[in-house]
Structure 1
């Protein structure tokens, strides 16, 4: 019984990782193709559908951690996925005025390269029991450049969206209302920017620690 459950787990995670892997491959392909042929102003429209699908699929990783399907700690998974979903849906999708910004290109390219490597790494591990050393090195090394470029793009896009957020009052709830509660999406975006200040160094330090452990373990094996 335990063996059958383990096999089902590996099969499910293999399918999940490789499916999302192909989604991010589409994002990267359309982003680079459009960037070179039409310019950065058209990148978002070209990648919107695969980007929304691939990024939203990451919600399942929170569930995977909660039910013990994977060993990744929720404390690391939740803020990373949460911030990306916020930028994907709460900024890019919600405010078309920001979709032509040059930072969209750096964002989706940084995200897609990172995720193509990450999902292929985990997909290979689940399918074959281990991943080649070069893929492990890529998994735990490319973030050194791609994480800062991705975070910078996220912060820049939120900041540049602030005037449109304030002007539109989208997602705002004003008093009086039946819930006796008010919410201002503009100030929520300000708070989100503030969270990046301590959050980004913390995540980067965490990932450096993971890199050290993974590469040291690889050398011992």
Structure 2
């Protein structure tokens, strides 16, 4: 029997990159998967057809929409919050509205989604949020807002782990380093700079992150909660 046979899984932000790898991993392991997307409709439809998962358009900057999607997904065995955006530039020049939108997607959505999921999540449920090694280390200028948002997830996991622990619900953060995606390609212009910080001189693969997520969602990780799990090739070492 597959590890997640007939388990109900919702992935917020699942159409591309790490999110798509997570969708594929849970489907391969037998789960019934729904995932959300914002602007990547073609990619979402293609992934849904490939994996027999369900794609639903949801703006993670819209708190009401996020809560409604989690609620309408019914009792979830696993919630994965992968939706997130990055922003680069001089903090003195960034558009404040754009910064606030980043916080809504990267911080508010994970919090409200986690709380809503926990309302109906069965004993032993799993909540996993995709953060970033930049929550621990920011070695370059111009990413203060992004780093702040990823550091905030650490407090979210520690706090909600205590709130939901009596029901056996675990809350964890996975913190990737450079991963080969459209947003950060392995052959992109940042390659040499990023690899210079790393012990393993390559980008990670989305499937490697998905494997860590699957382990945290599985039966062997029932005693793991309120923790950060960094997968970064030594970027932050």
Give the alignment's TM-score, normalised by structure 2. Answer: 0.27
State the structure with more CA Rg: 1
Decide which structure has greater strand share. Answer: 2
